[in-house]
Amino acid sequence: MRRSIFLLLTLLVGVPLGLAAKEVKVTVKTKVAQMKYDREVIEVEPGDQVEITLENVDDLPHNLVVCRPAAEGANDKGMAVAQMAWNLGELGMAKAWIPDTPRVMVHTKLVNPHESDTLRFTAPDEEVDLPFVCTFPGHALLMNGTISVARPLPPIRNLHYRYYLPAKGDRYKQLPDFSKLTPVEEGQMPAGKVDISMHLKEKKGSFAYVFEGTLEFPKDGEYEFAVGSDDGNELWIDGKKVSEHNSIHPFSVKKKKLKKQKKGDHHIELRYFEGGGQKQLYLGWSGPGFQNRPLSEGALDAGQLQSEEEKFAGMPLVVRDEARLYRNFIEGSSPRGIAVGFPGGVNLCWDADQMNVVMVWQGAFVDAKRHWTGRGAGNQPPLGYGVVRTGEAPQHGVARISGSDADWPAADPKDDWKSGDYRFQGYELGERRFPVFRYEYAGVKVEERFEVTGALKDGTLKLRRIVSLRGDGDAADLFFLAAAGKVTAVDGGWALGPAREVLLKVDGAVPVLRAKGNELRVPVKLTHGEAQISLSYEWPVVAK
């Protein structure tokens, strides 16, 4: 009788007794004067009842909008939704900067300073990453995060450790050759997590560990490992060294992405040494459907988990009604790259060495913190998303070649940019500070200017590039390099990028796609000493 009642109840509720979805309550606070949330990752399981309270301790209004994922394969961190909100213009405040799009899953109200609001939703049944973002204009550049909906992951199986000590009176200054050493102790880690705490109280000096076990990758895809230590470490996956920070140094984190990993068991080995002083070791990983899961005892907060690269983030240049230029070291261009952010959410990098556009992208412009902090060293990548390189190698925008199939002359990085056949003539700022770039090539004067039309929200956003050329007579065998690398012929133009993120249209001449190098070349015919080519970079409708 009791068994019949149990089966009846099971059928009525649809799930076994005792397995009701659990409640997850999370508080997210804003950071004062930093335009950031105090947490970037929220982890829940499928079907959880989620409650998120936004406490705004800042002096500016903020909201928290949970978004459905973008198109398959894309990860825009909610930026497309934020861009739709910004395009509301005068209606923005009345709508609390919440755009009318199915991508908005649930949201708080626009929370005034020193107030709070709570949102509630049921986590999807499938494993998925849900972006969350503040859609108040300009804030999404830094105020974003991810709700990781994922099932619990197993720890490292059969995790074995070996513990080593240096010769008496000596200390490790780098990782030793463990094959020549005998461990003073070895054993199993029953919890399946890396842990050095067992010997910290008894040993104040130098020591070393090797941890080995089996880690199950739950899906095919890309994985990222984060290794933090004071002092040195090496991480090996399937017998291959994938990460190394082998020296005496303060605690710092290095991250390594592994692409095209297969589902199933993988051998993992972590080597570590301590030279003296502070002692700390951290191992964590992220993968399809989950983020920042520790594989060692002792979790780290978001600040401690930052890699050296991530620490140089936090000073975004916001583009409003005028164009904004950033002349500094831009990743993907020469040291003379000039990044330009245009109103509406389109950006490019014009390279004064190559005298050509080398990148275009959407959304946020550039984070200037790297070049403001310390000595300002290193290259700064674009801050937005959908970055598409329009060239694969240093190549000038204009050249004379013997025919459409001839090799394009490579730009020599040793050439002086003010001598030889190519001479950069600088740029001037026109209306709304839109730049006009000028250079000369073998008696031909080239001028490039830009226009922006449409809006991202309705898929009409276009960046128009007008290239004007003037020279003596009718120059023969003159070509313009419109794009190189990932170029595909499609209806209406040419698709750029590995995922065909940008549609390029060319007016004023008929382009030729050369198979070798995948170069899109435009023959230039000077008529009465003049010619003009128009290139239109168009972005598709935002995924909804």
Q: For residue 203, what are the contacts with CB-CB under 8 A and spacing of at least 6?
A: 165
Question: For residue 318, which phi and psi values (nearest 5 degrees)?
Answer: -95, 130
User: pLDDT per residue over 347-363, tens digit each?
Assistant: 999 999 889 999 998 87
Summarize the confidence of residues 182-211 as an average pLDDT.
87
Percent of the chain with pLDDT over 90: 48
Q: Average pLDDT of 442-447?
A: 91
- pTM value surpassing 0.85: no
Amino acid 360: pLDDT? 93
Mean per-residue pLDDT, 198-204 = 67
Percent of the chain that is helix, strand, coil (3-state, to 5):
10, 45, 45
Given a cut of 60, whether residue 216 has pLDDT beyond it is: yes
pLDDT at 466: 96
Predicted confidence band of residue 9 (pLDDT cuts 50, 70, 90):
very low
- 3-state SS of 321-354 is CCCEEEECCECCCCCCEEEEEECCCEEEEEECCC
Residue type present at position 118: T
pLDDT given at position 421: 80
Read off the pLDDT of residues 86-108 as tens digits, 9 standing for 90 and up. 888 888 899 999 999 999 999 99
pLDDT of residue 63: 97
Q: Is the pLDDT of residue 437 over 60?
A: yes
Residues 6+ apart with CB under 8 A from 65: 78, 81, 98, 104, 106, 107, 108, 132, 133, 134, 135
Question: pLDDT tens, 164-188?
Answer: 999 988 999 999 999 999 999 999 9
Reported confidence tier of residue 374, pLDDT bands at 50, 70, 90: low
User: For residue 227, is pLDDT > 60?
Assistant: yes
For residue 420, what are the CA distances in angstroms to 135, 335, 424, 440?
Answer: 49, 19, 11, 10
Distances 481 to 307, 391, 393, 520 between C-alpha atoms, Å: 38, 9, 12, 6
What is the mean pLDDT of the segment spanning 425-445?
Answer: 94
Lowest mean pLDDT among 254-258, 331-335, 406-410, 411-415: 411-415
**CA separation for the pair 78, 240 (Å, rounded):** 35
Residue 332's pLDDT band, with cuts at 50, 70 and 90, is: confident
Least confidently predicted of 124-128, 293-297, 309-313 = 309-313
Question: In this predicted model, which residue has the larger pLDDT, 522 or 127?
Answer: 522
pLDDT given for residue 458 in this prediction: 58
Query: If pLDDT is split at 50, 70 and 90, which confidence band does 292 have?
Result: confident
- pLDDT at residue 2, as a whole number: 44
According to the per-residue pLDDT averaged within each range, which of 222-226, 247-251, 343-347 is highest? 222-226
Structure token digits, residue 282? 């951290």
Mean pLDDT, the chain, rounded, equals 85
Rounded-to-integer distance, Cα 504 and Cα 279, Å: 54
Positions of E strands within 442-542: 444-453, 462-470, 478-484, 487-490, 493-496, 502-507, 512-514, 519-524, 530-538
Report residue 393's pLDDT band, with 50, 70 and 90 as the boundaries.
Answer: low
* Domains of the chain listed by start with CATH number: 20-149 (2.60.40.420), 157-305 (2.60.120.1560), 316-538 (2.70.98)
